[in-house]
């Protein structure tokens, strides 16, 4: 009776050991590649912060372009005001000289 119970367990143990040996034999040569793939996936997940940084940089560059355009407009306005002021002074001097000639 004991032989009837132990024999299937021994056969199952032998089959399991053979199956495990086949799996190990098939997987062990691929282990470095699998390990590298695993590490690469972990590194890729850490790059998620870099994507946020890239988006922030793009937004800041856009704002920088707007600020540069505003600065250019302000500089143009200041230059135009200075030219107008000089023209007004010249006109005033011309008018004064014309009055002196009369």
Per-residue pLDDT tens digits for 69-85: 999 999 999 999 999 99
Q: Are 32 and 73 within one domain?
A: no
On whether both 74 and 89 belong to a single domain, the answer is yes
Same domain, 9 and 58: no
53 and 38 co-located in one domain:
no
| Count of the separate structural domains present in the chain | 2
Half-sphere exposure of 84 (CA within 13 A, CB side): 6
Q: Which domain holds residue 38?
A: 1-46
pTM of the entire predicted model: 0.42
Q: Are residues 68 and 85 in the same domain?
A: yes
Which of the four pLDDT bands, split at 50, 70 and 90, describes residue 95? very high
Is the pLDDT confidence value at 64 over 80? Answer: yes
Whether the CA torsion 92, 93, 95, 100 is positive or negative: it is: positive
- The single-letter DSSP state of residue 102 is -
What whole-number distance in Å separates Cα of residue 49 and Cα of residue 99?
74
Residues 57 and 92 in one domain: yes
Supply 20's token pair: 């495990």
Tell me, yes or no, whether 102 and 74 share the same domain.
yes
26-61, pLDDT tens digit by residue?
Answer: 878 888 888 888 888 776 655 556 777 888 898 999
């Amino acid at each position: 009776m004991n032989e009837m119970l132990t024999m299937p367990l021994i056969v199952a143990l032998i089959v399991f050991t053979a199956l495990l040996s086949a799996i190990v034999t098939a997987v062990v040569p691929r282990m470095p590649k699998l390990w590298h793939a695993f590490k690469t996936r972990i590194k890729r997940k850490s790059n998620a912060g870099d994507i946020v940084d890239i988006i922030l940089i793009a937004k800041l560059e856009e704002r920088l372009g707007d600020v540069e355009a505003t600065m250019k407009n302000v500089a143009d306005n200041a230059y135009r005001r200075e030219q107008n002021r000089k023209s007004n002074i010249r006109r005033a001097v011309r008018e004064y000289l014309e009055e002196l000639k009369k």
